[in-house]
Amino acid sequence: MDYFVITSILVFLSAVFGYLNLRFFKLPNTIGLTLITILFTLAVFALSYFDDTLLEAERFIISKIDFKVVLLDIMLSFLLFAGALHTDLQKLKEQRWPVLVFATFGVLVSTFLVGTAVFYLLQLLGLNVNFIYCLLFGALISPTDPIAVLGILKKAGAPKKLEIKIVGESLFNDGVGVVVFLTIFGLASGSEPGFSLSSVLELFVVEVFGGILWGLFLGWLTYYFMKRIDDYNIEVIITLATVMTGTIVATHLHISAPLAMVVAGLMIGGNKTREQAMSKLTESYVDKFWELIDILLNTILFVLIGMEMLVLELNSTYIYAGLMAIPIALLCRYISLIIPVKLFQKRLDFVPNTTLIMTWGGLRGAISIALALGLTDSMERDLFLVITYIIVIFSILVQGLTVEKLIKKLSLKEG
């Protein structure tokens, strides 16, 4: 079975599940697709007691897909660029300092809090896991997922000032989270014998600031070329080339491609580029093209998340650990947000209960699963994959379905 056939099957399932969601479930796409795929996979499990043909076919498809490579090396750049393209740059500039602190300080604090708490939790459950592997888990579970957050927050009707904080944080903190994860991964695997605190800091700075600088250059270059022509077909292709070529170069230079795509997307989607480099027709086509890319990849992505159940080793102790890790992850996120929120609260007129809404509205998603799949067996891959999957599914289905009610209960909903 070649990749075209596998892709065709995934697109077919995405279309069917997307239709079922809109026709019957009427849930936000992120939630609906995840739920329907899980129900489908459970139905396949049940059917396998009589005939395992469908189960083996689904397992074969999953075995041929490297979820980590597909998401982190291919899909993530497209999804982050599309999300950044439609983010209000002016509003984000007003909130740039809290967003920056949330995405850096918040991720680092959460990584160490979650890692430490999970280390002691696993000890209580009789699982002796090295502390550094628990820190790796802390790094992969701390970033919130912009792909999951964007659609759900828009439907929830959160105040714009709050929405831009959560969306802005999510766009940047996954890039930072990936860098933190890879840094700790290098330490844990011993792949670089000369690893020291200075080399860790150097790697972090090069990845983060290199990605940001590369994104600024890509954004300027795209603006330069688009300003000198007026043909919506070619201009759409230029934005596509920006993402594809930019990602390849970033990967080759060992700088953060996700951060580069966020910065480039924000620049190209900003008012200056739209007013000076795009006609109204071009603007409409660029927006519609990237909306379509966003919806298509999102749909496939959350179908894959549901199907990933087939690779889990459902050990009962692992499941207990996952369920007990849910409140730990939420509490650690809440604590990691307290200082940044207090720091900027008065100056930027934060809405009431910002910390609570950002905690519950900061959903975990595909990025965490992809990073967990990248762990080696010696890093307790199966254990952390189950814990990650349980937290992600709780985040999408429970938090995603109730964040609107929480906003309404706190009287924050606009309109």
Convert the pLDDT of each residue in 261-270 to its tens digit: 999 999 999 9
Question: 126 — alpha (psi -120 to 50), left (phi > 0) or beta?
Answer: left
Global pTM reads 0.90
261 in Cβ contact with 213 (< 8 Å): no
Closest CA to 142 of 170, 161, 168, 164: 170
| Range from 68-77, 239-248, 335-344, 349-358 that averages highest in pLDDT | 239-248
Q: What is the pLDDT of residue 196?
A: 61
> How would residue 22 be classed by pLDDT, with cut points 50, 70 and 90?
very high
Q: What is the pLDDT of residue 192?
A: 52
Given a cut of 90, whether residue 216 has pLDDT beyond it is yes
How many CB atoms are closer than 10 A to CB 68? Answer: 15
Q: In this predicted structure, what is the pLDDT of residue 261?
A: 96
CB atoms within 10 A of CB 346: 8
Q: Identify the pLDDT of residue 415.
A: 45
CA 389/CA 396 separation, integer angstroms: 11
Q: What is the DSSP string of 87-123?
A: S-HHHHHHTHHHHHHIIIIIHHHHHHHHHHHHHHHHH
pLDDT tens digit sequence for 56-75: 888 888 888 888 888 888 89
Higher pLDDT, 45 or 330: 330
pLDDT value of residue 87: 86
Mean pLDDT taken over the chain: 88
- Residue 271 or 314, more confident: 271
Q: Express the helix, strand and coil content of the chain in percent, nearest 5 each.
A: 80, 0, 20
Mean pLDDT score, 235-250: 97
Over pLDDT 70: what percentage of the chain? 94
Tell how many helices (H) and how many strands (E) occur in the chain.
21, 0
- State yes or no: pLDDT of 195 exceeds 70: no
The residue-averaged pLDDT of 41-47 equals 90
Q: Which of 120-124, 169-173, 350-354 has the lowest mean pLDDT?
A: 350-354
Q: Are 387 and 133 in contact (CB under 8 A)?
A: no
Higher pLDDT, 312 or 13: 13
Spell out the residues 6+ positions from residue 37 whose beta carbon is closer than 8 angstroms to its own.
13, 17, 302, 303, 305, 306, 307
Q: Is the pLDDT of residue 386 over 60?
A: yes
Mean pLDDT of 15-22: 94
pLDDT band at 141 (very low <50, low <70, confident <90, very high): very high
Q: Which domains can be identified in the chain, with CATH numbers?
A: 3-63 (no CATH), 67-409 (1.20.1530.20)
| Mean pLDDT computed over 42-62 | 89
pLDDT at 72: 84
What is the per-residue pLDDT for 367? Answer: 87
The sign of the dihedral angle between the CA atoms of 293, 245, 65, 136 is negative
Over the stretch 296-324, which tens digit does the pLDDT of each residue have? Answer: 888 898 888 888 887 787 889 999 999 99
